Chains A and B, each alone.
Chain A
Amino acid sequence: MKYILQFGIILLISFVGELLNRVIPLPIPASIYGMLILFTALCTGVLKLSHVRETGKFLIIIMPLMFIAPAVGLIESWEIMQEFIVAIIVISIVSTIAVIGAAGHITQLIIKFKGKEEKR
């Protein structure tokens, strides 16, 4: 019963997210609406962790399996991709390094700055 309830709640929230995606004219996927709904429900106490935890963790653990089919779909879009394959590779590498540098250093700076402030 526990797992049926947990799976049911997560699917129901996904469905509400889907509805919001259809109704609200913004490019926000159903999954994001669903994530916000679940997070809000947990923070406000409408749902408890025990209502979603095991099934949710299971879904997160098997998540890599869900990427296989879309990635294999690459063989279908190979022709479009060939047009800018060099750009894809260069942009991916350079911007990944840039994002790691920016996000990491700014987080580190603020933590250090706040730490010094608290010591005073």
Chain B
Amino acid sequence: MNEILRNSLFFGVALSIGTFIIGTLIKRKWNFFLFNPLLVSITLTIATLLLLGIEYNSYNDSAKYLTYLLTPATVALAIPLYEQLLLLKRNLTAILVGIASGVICSGVSIFAMALFFGLNHTQYVTLLPKSITTAIGIGLSAELDGYVAITVSAIIFTGLIGNIAGDLLCRILHIKHPIAKGIAIGTATHVMGTSKAMEVGEIEGAMSSLSVAVAGIMTVGASIIFQWWI
């Protein structure tokens, strides 16, 4: 039986999607903040692999076909970006300066804390893309020679914070304007925070998805400068 699962082309994909659907159903039934579909799916998939004694590589030989779509999906982020062109143009300065200060704040705070914890260069560049969307973060971490898997976990952990507490943090920090809320949540916690921002309001959601794309591009630019500088 395990031999069949190990060599299966569809087991990994089916396991990933199946556990995600279970996560969605659990979230629908009990709206507890830790029942995030992605978190549930990751946990159940790891548990299944460990229980059946299946190596990650055998699983990934099938599941990698889902990951393959990350590049086209990121290309598609240009669509919501284009659809919000009017709202973007009208508040261009506020949006761009806001996102830029978030990106700078992210780089500076990570750099300062990397020094504090005595991290080496590889560990530091691994955490640098943690606020941007996974598709861009994976590419950036690979380009900067970071540990891609750890970058993904830091990105997902950051996204979970946004999804769980993005709105709450905005309220605590007295960020009230809908555009500012969306920019803050999207710049800090990418797509996973954006799904929460969509629940908060239409403008919040639109601005959050916008900043996912813009912060991603800005972070790529800023990371190049950071890399040259250090």
Give the residue of A39, A88, A96 whose beta carbon is less than 8 angstroms from that of B131. A96
Instruction: Across the interface, name the chain A residue whose C-beta is closest to B77.
Output: A35
Contact bitstring B117-141, A, C-beta under 8 A = 1, else 0: 1010001000100110011101110
Give the residue of A35, A88, A99, A106 whose beta carbon is less than 8 angstroms from that of B97. A106
Task: List residues 150-188 of chain B with CB under 8 A from any CB of chain A.
Answer: 150, 152-154, 156-158, 161-162, 166, 169-170, 173-177, 179-181, 183-185, 187-188
Q: How far, in whole Å, are A55 and B72 apart by their CA atoms in the complex?
A: 10
Instruction: Across the interface, name the chain B residue whose C-beta is closest to A90.
Output: B113
Inter-chain contact B180/A108, CB cutoff 8 Å:
yes
Instruction: Across the interface, name the chain B residue whose C-beta is closest to A81.
Output: B150
CB distance from A84 to the nearest CB of B (A): 6
Q: How far, in whole Å, are A71 and B154 apart by their CA atoms in the complex?
A: 10
Interface size range on B against A = 35 or more
Give the residue of B60, B74, B110, B136 whose beta carbon is less than 8 angstroms from that of A91. B110
> Counting CB contacts under 8 A, is B216 at the interface?
yes
Q: How many A-B residue contacts, CB cutoff 8 Å?
A: 319
> Counting CB contacts under 8 A, is A66 at the interface?
yes
Inter-chain contact B113/A10, CB cutoff 8 Å:
no
Inter-chain contact A99/B187, CB cutoff 8 Å:
yes
CB distance from B22 to the nearest CB of A (A): 12
Instruction: Across the interface, name the chain B residue whose C-beta is closest to A31.
Output: B74
Known interface pairs A53-B79, A102-B105; A110-B74 also in contact (CB < 8 Å): no
Q: How far, in whole Å, are A113 and B48 apart by their CA atoms in the complex?
A: 54
Inter-chain contact B170/A100, CB cutoff 8 Å:
yes
Contact bitstring A29-41, B, C-beta under 8 A = 1, else 0: 1111011111100
